[in-house]
Amino acid sequence: MKAETSPTLPLRERKKLRTRQALIDTALELFGTQGFDGVTLDALCDAAEVSKRTFFRYFDSKEDVAMAPAQDVWVAFLDVLETCPADGRPLLTLFEDALAEAIGRMPADGWAGLVLAGRRLAALTPSMDAHCLAFCDRTTRTALALVDRRLALPGPDGQLRARLALDLLVVLFHRALDSWVAQPSGHTPQDLVRRLRATAAELPSVLTARAEPHA
């Protein structure tokens, strides 16, 4: 990941960004080789040359640092949602488009690799998975409040429908991530968007799909 920071930022802010990024990089590196539970916070802080106290000024938990790149997408998503045109698109399409754009905004050079590392780790570490799901849930609630403020949700169940649409989006994103992570190579943001679209395309048939017993 590039450590390059806008030179307009004051020195103090640049240093903070660098420390943060250093923690993310070394964390994912160490976790990747020794496993999440195989690395104590003390060891991580030692490697990153910060005190444990400082670590917790940047991240809320040990899990947090490994999920930071993935969380960036959702922060961007909220930002897109805040400013995107509220035309007549179906709500779910609007959300999909916003998420696709948010993914597109991610830095092209190191982000994908960090997300990949984070997801692979989450697959092996229940507590990371839990934190990830909880984060998505919180983001969903924030997004709902945002949408409720900006848009007129029609009908008495408008709020519920919007919430369901957001829940659906989260589900689609996770399944898209699954298949994206599973592929052997070509882990680009663009490819992730492609998989998101493909997963979304399955949705209508999910509502009606049938299955027969084995022959």
Does residue 199 touch a copy of itself according to CB under 8 A?
Answer: yes
Decide whether 179 or 188 has the Cβ nearer to a copy of itself. 179
Decide whether 117 or 172 has the Cβ nearer to a copy of itself. 172
Please state the length of the chain: 215
Does residue 44 touch a copy of itself according to CB under 8 A?
Answer: no
Q: Which residues bind DNA (CB under 7 A)?
A: 10-13, 15-16, 19, 39-42, 49-54, 56-58, 60-63
Among 12, 53, 182, 211, binds a copy of itself (CB under 8 A): 211
160 binds, among a copy of itself, DNA, none (CB under 5 to 8 A by kind): a copy of itself
Query: With the CA atoms of 38, 170, 174 and 37 taken in that order, what torsion angle do they form, in degrees rounded to the nearest 10?
Result: 0
Residue given tokens 């709902």 in the structure block: 144
> What are the C-alpha distances in Å from 56 to residues 51, 88, 183, 213?
9, 44, 34, 52
Contact 64, 41 (CB under 8 A): no
Kindly provide the b/e burial profile for residues 146-166, where b requires at least 16 CB atoms within 10 angstroms of the residue's own CB: ebeeeeebeeeeeeeebbebb
Decide whether 55 or 173 has the Cβ nearer to DNA. 55
Does residue 154 touch a copy of itself according to CB under 8 A?
Answer: yes
The CA-based angle 120-75-36, given to 5 degrees, is 25
141 binds, among a copy of itself, DNA, none (CB under 5 to 8 A by kind): none
214 binds, among DNA, a copy of itself, none (CB under 5 to 8 A by kind): a copy of itself
Among 9, 137, 146, 190, binds a copy of itself (CB under 8 A): 137
- Concatenating the DSSP letter of every residue in 37-77 gives TTS-HHHHHHHHT--HHHHHHH-SSHHHHHHHHHHHHHHHH
Among 43, 124, 133, 146, binds a copy of itself (CB under 8 A): 133
Contact 135, 29 (CB under 8 A): no
Among 91, 100, 112, 144, binds a copy of itself (CB under 8 A): 91
- The maximal CA–CA distance of the chain, rounded, in angstroms, is 68
Q: What's the closest the beta carbon of residue 16 comes to a copy of itself, in angstroms?
A: 25
Q: Which residues bind to a copy of itself, rule: CB under 8 A?
A: 86, 88-92, 94, 126, 129-131, 133-134, 137-138, 147, 150-154, 157-158, 160-165, 167-168, 171-172, 174-175, 179, 199, 202-215
